[in-house]
Structure formats: structure tokens, C-alpha cells
Amino acid sequence: MVFLNIDKSILGWYNVSTIKLLIVNKGRFSYNANKLYSITKKSRKIMNYQSDRQMFDVDIDCGECGTKITQLPFQPSGDRPVFCSNCLRAKRNNSNGGGQTRQRTMYDVDVDCGECGVKITQLPFQPSGDRPIYCFECNKNRRG
């Protein structure tokens, strides 16, 4: 098996990464034309969607830097802040892939595991005292 790297910029996509196409054709090397056609067809659809997207005229300030925003690809509801493209890009780059995550608060406690008796010194919640507390291993075994 041989792989051919084709730069996505050739296909009209984003220019950074590459697409690997499997090449095998009766002992001779050639690209998989159907796969290449399918990829270029999809990229054209994506590009057309982005260029034909309806834009709404608005008069809003960016929720982060205060820059005036005059057009948006959606109608803002007013209950959440709207960000300019620069601030939105910075927020995306700072996030770790998913939504906003915050550091979990750990509580210092001095309790024994309700099953094996191991001392537990930290918990991700404040225990109420009316239910038994289990260590990590016992909790994992109980959940199956």
C-alpha cells in the first residue's frame, strides 16, 4: 500500500493539513479518482454554504473588547453576549476543544470509606453526612 499526500489547498479547503488517499491499481500507482472527486465536491458545498449565508444587519458592541459589530450570520437574542471575530477566534484558541471547563473544587475531609475503611482526605463535593462515602476503587466497583 502506498499513500499519496494531497495538500487541501489544491482542493479549495483549508491549506494546513493533508488528505491521504489510498493508491493501489493493479500494481500501478494512481490516485483514487472517486475519492478525490467526492472530497472536492464536499469542499465546494462547504464553501458555497459559507458564501451564500444570510447576514443580519445589527448595531451591537463586542462583549469582550467593545468593537462595533454591524453584521452577524444569526439574529442575536439579546440575552447572551456577542463577540467580534477576533475575540471569538481567541476564545476558541484558548479553550481545550470543548466548552468552557473550570477547575474542580476539592474539599478537605477526614472520613473513612463506607465499604473498605480507607481514609479519604479529599472529595470533589461537600459531604452531607447522611449517606456513606466510598473511596475511588469501591465507588468504581459499585458502579460496575
What mean pLDDT do residues 118-132 have?
A: 91
6 and 45 part of one domain: yes
Domain of 28 in residue numbering reads as 2-51
Domain count, the chain: 3
% of the chain exceeding 90 in pLDDT: 32
DSSP classification of residue 10: H
pLDDT score of 97 more than 80: no
Which pLDDT does position 96 carry in this prediction?
59
Residues in the chain: 144
Tell me the three cell numbers of residue 94. Answer: 484558548
Which pLDDT does position 88 carry in this prediction?
87
What mean pLDDT do residues 88-104 have?
A: 72
- Asked if residue 99 is part of any domain, the answer here is no
6 and 43 part of one domain: yes
- Residue 130 backbone phi and psi in degrees, to 5: -90, -5
pLDDT in tens, 15-35: 333 444 434 444 444 445 555
- Asked if residue 100 is part of any domain, the answer here is no
pLDDT score of 56 more than 70: yes
Q: How far apart are CA 42 and CA 34, in angstroms?
A: 12
Q: How far apart are CA 8 and CA 62, in angstroms?
A: 33
pLDDT in tens, 1-20: 444 455 444 445 433 334 44
What mean pLDDT do residues 82-106 have?
A: 78
Q: How would DSSP label each residue in 47-68?
A: HHHHHS---EEEEEE-TTT--E
11 and 41 part of one domain: yes
CB 86 within 8 A of CB 101: no
- Asked if residue 65 is part of any domain, the answer here is yes
Query: How far apart are the two ends of the chain, measured CA to CA in Å?
Result: 43
Distances from the Cα of 131 to the Cαs of 37, 87, 107, 113, in angstroms?
61, 46, 17, 11
Higher-pLDDT residue of 36, 88: 88
Distances from the Cα of 124 to the Cαs of 69, 105, 109, 119, 132, in angstroms?
41, 6, 10, 15, 15
42 and 66 part of one domain: no
Model confidence at 137, in pLDDT bands (50, 70, 90)?
A: very high
